[in-house]
Amino acid sequence: MNARRGAQIVLLGTTLTLAGCTSWNDVRNTGSPVTETREARHAQAVQAFEEQRNRAERQAAMDRWSQGDIAGCDARLWAILARRPSDIEAHIRLGELAWSMNNAAEAEAEYLAALGLAPDRADVEHALALVLEATGRTAGAAPHFIRAAQLDPRNELYRL
């Protein structure tokens, strides 16, 4: 009889616990200011973590490049873009990598992608202009040289 009574107590305790959890979830999901604040902080923490991870991966990619591991650099940068296609710096680094390998078409595509995400980047405007100029498209390069100079008038490299 003691074993049966013990089982009933455990069952009753489990039922009460589950009932309590359900009611707690109902209170917690009401959109209270505390819940909203917690969720906002969580979202900020996740975003900060993602930024830090992408920065570290970009650095690892650039380390591969400096060690002569072009394929490793390329793979890491594409992995970043697979996770986050809007990573401007990954597009820029891929443009630089492509340009260093004399792949003007890919460099141009990556610089254009970066400008699509961040149209006010003088460095990207200038890099794109250099690619266009080097491939004989000076008329296409001119607006990018001008835009780079407008965006960063203190940079002597961009002055016309």
**Domain encompassing residue 96:** 50-101
Is 121 a domain residue? no
Please give the pLDDT value at position 137.
96
Please give the pLDDT value at position 135.
95
CB atoms within 10 A of CB 115: 20
Please give the pLDDT value at position 52.
86
Closest CA to 108 of 84, 143, 87, 133: 133
- The parts of the chain modelled with pLDDT lower than 50 are 16, 23-24, 27
Is 94 a domain residue? yes
Number of domains in the chain: 1
Question: 104, 134 in Cβ contact below 8 A?
Answer: yes
Which pLDDT tens digit goes with each residue over 82-93?
Answer: 989 999 999 999
Look up residue 115 and give its two tokens.
């400008």
Is 79 a domain residue? yes
Please give the pLDDT value at position 88.
94
Q: How far apart are alpha carbons 122 and 101 in whole angstroms?
A: 23
Is 150 a domain residue? no
Is 61 a domain residue? yes
Is 72 a domain residue? yes
- 3-class SS at 2? helix
Please give the pLDDT value at position 30.
58
Is 158 a domain residue? no
What is the value of pTM for the model shown?
0.70
Is 74 a domain residue? yes
